Amino acid sequence: MLQIAFYGKGGIGKSTTVSNVSAALQEMDRRVLQVGCDPKADSSRPFWDGNRPPTVINLLKDDRGRDPEVGKYLHKSASGVEYIEVGGPEPGVGCAGRGILKMFEILEDAGVLDDDYDAVIYDVLGDVVCGGFAAPLRAGYARHVYVVLSGEYMAMYAANNICKGIANYAERRNVRLGGFVVNCRNVPSEIELCEAFAKAVGSHVVAVVPRDVVVAKAERKRATVVEAYPQSNQAEVYRGLARAIVNNKLIATPVPLSDEQLEELYFSFKVDDDLDDEMDAEMAATA
């Protein structure tokens, strides 16, 4: 069974990537469970068909702390992808990380993770800075981590922090870095910069996902690209990523950079003067 966690900076396109990978694996006749570990409870949005599913945390509230029945929080999309949303507390109240820890207790007691899945994919919020959000790694639920990355500095900063978390649990929990997925933002030297960062921490770029309007179109249809636009180039990119994950042999323990090393690497990639001139002209035209 593939036991995978996707991490990355908030807003990097992680949930879109995860849902499309799940849909692509399902196309390959894999039985997939996607677990959304985000208080927004939106990891599985493309599978909802307009109906927001109850979350584990809300069910706990409704049942006054009693473990809810599996059928109340384990859902299945029209295409067959099974999914769970952890949910979280109201903004400013409680700790979402504790909710994730409680969810794993519930899944263990119910034997959900012992079921006959070919892949269990955890979609985890942001950096590994909280023990709760590190739970898939710390408790050994995820064996391989994939980090969604772009050529923006804060995305790389978050990715480096995630590498630190993986390195912390690598030996104790047999967790490894599977590699990086570049979700393009079309910033200067993006792919080269991400490849240089991946090499610097001892890993590699698994796939490059180009920026494409078809992703937004699929969102408007409440579907994954793989399901809504199966013949598109973007759908084939996600299928290629799913195949790369299944066949990936380049698993490593990352060697994170210091903050100073990360800055040195990032700013070693110069923005060429021609591009500066183009950007200045665009800003002037829209002023």
Residues forming the active site = 9, 14, 40, 127
Q: Are strands 75-76 and 82-85 parallel, antiparallel or unpaired?
A: antiparallel
Cβ count near 247 (within 10 Å): 7
Strands, DSSP E only, in the chain?
A: 2-8, 32-37, 75-76, 82-85, 119-124, 144-149, 176-183, 205-209
> Quick one: 198 exposed, middle or buried, by C-beta within 10 A (0-12, 13-18, 19+)?
buried
Residues 234 and 232: their CA atoms lie apart, in Å, by 5
Residues 194 and 208: their CA atoms lie apart, in Å, by 10
Cβ count near 219 (within 10 Å): 15
Residues 270 and 189: their CA atoms lie apart, in Å, by 8
Phi-psi region of 270 (alpha: psi -120 to 50; beta: other; left: phi over 0): beta
CB-based burial, 26-57: b 16+ in 10 Å, e otherwise: bbeebbbbbbbbbbebebbbbbbeeeebebbb
